[in-house]
């Protein structure tokens, strides 16, 4: 009798501590979520999006009127974009005739569908991302990792409309107008950090790789919440490594490790991010119940690196508030 009671008590503890298939205590079999279609953007940058090469799109974005989804998402939620042609390298920009992908990867498909879910409690916002994959990065002896990254912001109107595209530029590392490594390391900012690569930056924090906006403008933008939080999970050789960083006038990783995990099983990657609410870290987004955040997602799959990722249009997650995904409070 007694042993039965103990056994039941232990069983109950196990059931309550590990609900569903949750890693961090969230029951993912019940959490709110949506399918997010990511696409292969080639070298489509913020400069392309604002240019005559983007036709009507360019005019609307310059005026900050219509957002990406308004023009590129069909009524049934299907993507209206030549993603397969971009991935295959068979389509050119309308005016300049520059290729959307000058170095196509053989067999690369244009679209990738991810299942995104969210939940929160008193301490964290939890975001789970799952996608079908061959698991190239995860396999034994893989040379290049696979990866999922989220850019997150809750205040910047341009980010809400255009997502990570506001941080993607022609002069970034591996993009068509990237300055040479020699030029970059000769620049006092990059050289001072022993670096030769130009990374993501928000268009309002830098006018070009070597031109930071004036200090007054930068501090105003920071006060208004213009810094973009960045979290990432690298999936390599059977292990997941979490990173925590930010994008503003540069893309930087913080010294502290990120709070995230990931696994590859049965032909799918699943990664889970934990974002601390009410953080005191100035480089992390301060979150509370009722907030709505915008998220731009990137997935590096098939061991592809640098710019050769799939990206999403921005979508929103609400902490108990109406959004594309209305996260419910986990108990």
Q: Is 160 in the site for ligand HEC (CB under 6 A)?
A: no
Identity of the residue, 48 or 209, whose beta carbon is nearer to ligand HEC in the bound complex: 48
Quote the least distance from Cβ 102 to ligand HEC, whole Å.
15
Quote the least distance from Cβ 172 to ligand HEC, whole Å.
16
What is the rounded CA–CA span in Å between residue 212 and residue 248? 10
Neighbours of 82 (CB within 10 A): 15
Q: What is the largest CA-CA distance in the chain?
A: 81
Q: Is 40 in the site for ligand HEC (CB under 6 A)?
A: no
**278's tokens:** 């009410």
**255's tokens:** 């010294």
Q: Among 241, 200, 226, 222, which residue's Cα sits nearest to residue 294?
A: 226
Beta carbons of 262 and 269 less than 8 angstroms apart: yes
CA 107 to chain centre: 24
Quote the least distance from Cβ 127 to ligand HEC, whole Å.
21
CA 129-135-138 angle, to 5 degrees, is: 95
Residue from 5, 35, 56, 97 touching ligand HEC (CB under 6 A): that is 56
Neighbours of 230 (CB within 10 A): 29
Identity of the residue, 80 or 123, whose beta carbon is nearer to ligand HEC in the bound complex: 80
Q: Is 60 in the site for ligand HEC (CB under 6 A)?
A: yes
Stretch that binds ligand HEC, among 50-58, 103-111, 125-133, 317-325 (CB under 6 A): 50-58
Residue from 27, 30, 32, 66 touching ligand HEC (CB under 6 A): that is 66
Per-residue x/- track, 259-288, ligand HEC (CB under 6 A):
------------------------------
Q: Is 94 in the site for ligand HEC (CB under 6 A)?
A: yes
Q: Which residues of 91-124 are buried (b: 16+ CB within 10 A; e: fewer)?
A: bebeeeeebbbeebeeebebebebbbbbbbeeeb
Quote the least distance from Cβ 62 to ligand HEC, whole Å.
10
Beta carbons of 50 and 331 less than 8 angstroms apart: no
Stretch that binds ligand HEC, among 58-66, 205-213, 241-249, 295-303 (CB under 6 A): 58-66
Quote the least distance from Cβ 300 to ligand HEC, whole Å.
18
Residue from 32, 37, 73, 82 touching ligand HEC (CB under 6 A): that is 82
**Burial (0-12, 13-18, 19+ Cβ within 10 Å), 43:** buried
Q: Is 25 in the site for ligand HEC (CB under 6 A)?
A: no
**Burial (0-12, 13-18, 19+ Cβ within 10 Å), 197:** middle
Q: Is 71 in the site for ligand HEC (CB under 6 A)?
A: yes
Quote the least distance from Cβ 292 to ligand HEC, whole Å.
19
Distances from the Cα of 267 to the Cα of 81, 112, 130, 134, 270, angstroms: 27, 14, 10, 6, 10
Identity of the residue, 53 or 284, whose beta carbon is nearer to ligand HEC in the bound complex: 53
Q: Is 165 in the site for ligand HEC (CB under 6 A)?
A: yes
What is the rounded CA–CA span in Å between residue 262 and residue 173? 27
Size of interface with ligand HEC, in residues (CB under 6 A): 20
Q: Is 41 in the site for ligand HEC (CB under 6 A)?
A: yes
Q: Among 226, 242, 253, which residue's Cα sits nearest to residue 153?
A: 226
Residue from 33, 57, 110, 303 touching ligand HEC (CB under 6 A): that is 57
Residues in contact with ligand HEC by CB under 6 A are 41, 44, 49, 54-57, 60-61, 66-68, 70-72, 81-82, 94, 162, 165
């Amino acid at each position: 009798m007694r042993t039965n009671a103990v056994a039941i008590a232990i069983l109950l503890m196990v059931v309550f501590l590990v609900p569903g298939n949750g890693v961090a205590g969230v029951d993912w079999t019940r959490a709110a979520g949506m399918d997010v279609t990511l696409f292969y953007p080639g070298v489509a940058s913020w400069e392309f999006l604002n240019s005559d090469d983007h036709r009507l799109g360019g005019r609307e974005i310059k005026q900050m009127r219509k957002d990406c989804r308004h023009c590129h998402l069909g009524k049934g939620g299907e993507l209206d974009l030549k993603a397969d042609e971009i991935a295959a390298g068979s389509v050119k920009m309308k005016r300049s005739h520059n290729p959307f992908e000058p170095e196509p990867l053989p067999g690369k498909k244009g679209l990738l569908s991810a299942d995104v879910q969210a939940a929160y409690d008193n301490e964290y916002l939890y975001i789970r991302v799952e996608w079908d994959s061959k698991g190239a990065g995860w396999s034994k002896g893989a040379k290049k990792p696979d990866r999922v990254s989220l850019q997150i912001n809750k205040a910047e109107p341009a980010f809400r409309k255009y997502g990570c595209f506001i941080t993607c530029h022609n002069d970034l590392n591996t993009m068509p107008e990237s300055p040479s490594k020699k030029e970059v390391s000769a620049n006092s900012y990059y050289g001072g950090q022993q670096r030769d690569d130009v990374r993501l930056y928000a268009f309002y924090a830098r006018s070009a790789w070597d031109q930071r906006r004036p200090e007054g403008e930068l501090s105003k933008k920071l006060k208004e919440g213009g810094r973009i939080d960045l979290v990432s999970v690298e999936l390599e050789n059977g292990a997941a490594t979490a990173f925590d960083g930010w994008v503003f006038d540069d893309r930087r990783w913080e010294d502290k490790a990120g709070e995230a995990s990931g696994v590859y099983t049965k032909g799918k990657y699943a990664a889970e991010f934990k974002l601390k609410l009410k953080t005191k870290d100035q480089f992390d987004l301060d979150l509370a119940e009722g907030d709505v955040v915008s998220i731009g997602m990137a997935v590096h799959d098939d061991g592809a690196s640098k710019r050769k990722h799939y990206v999403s249009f921005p979508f929103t997650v609400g902490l108990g508030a109406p959004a594309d995904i209305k996260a419910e409070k986990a108990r």
